[in-house]
Amino acid sequence: AQSVTQPDIHITVSEGASLELRCNYSYGATPYLFWYVQSPGQGLQLLLKYFSGDTLVQGIKGFEAEFKRSQSSFNLRKPSVHWSDAAEYFCAVGRTNNNDMRFGAGTRLTVKP
């Protein structure tokens, strides 16, 4: 089965600074990759997804992610973080012809004023 690793449990950045959240996946074929964000007391909201084509994908709220097959990575980036970006971020991988989606352990983002 596929799996996802998010190496950073907690990251703190200053407001206005750039952000990169790491995600590595394990899957034998081309994966479907997703980033979700979860605010306290809420469900998960989709930020962006990669299925095929351009390896740099744009999402909502100014986020982007780059699929690197050679590194089995799908890191999330934002050039300038806002205080409202403080939340938990989850990377997920799905399989073709299968609904089985697996989530990473999540990275909690704290934004300093």
* Binding flag, residue 22, other proteins (CB under 8 A): no
34 binds other proteins (CB under 8 A): yes
| One of 42, 58, 71, 84 touching other proteins (CB under 8 A) | 42
Q: 12-41: b or e for each residue (b if 16 or more CB lie within 10 Å)?
A: ebeeeeebebbbbbebeeebbbbbbbeeee
- Angstrom distance (rounded) from CA 74 to CA 92: 10
Query: Of 96 and 110, which has the nearer Cβ to other proteins?
Result: 96
In the complex, what is the shortest distance from the CB of residue 102 to other proteins, in angstroms, rounded to a whole number?
7
Going by C-beta distance under 8 Å and a sequence separation of 6 or more, which residues neighbour residue 111?
Answer: 12, 13, 14, 15, 81, 82, 83, 85, 86
Verify binding: residue 104, other proteins, rule CB under 8 A: yes
**Residue of the chain from 13, 15, 32, 86 that contacts other proteins (CB under 8 A):** 32
Quick check: 99 binds other proteins (CB under 8 A)? yes
Output phi, psi for 21, to 5 deg: -110, 130
**Residue 58 Cβ, how far from other proteins at the closest point, in Å?**
15
**Rule CB under 8 A: which residues touch other proteins?**
32, 34, 36, 41-46, 49, 51, 90, 92, 94-106
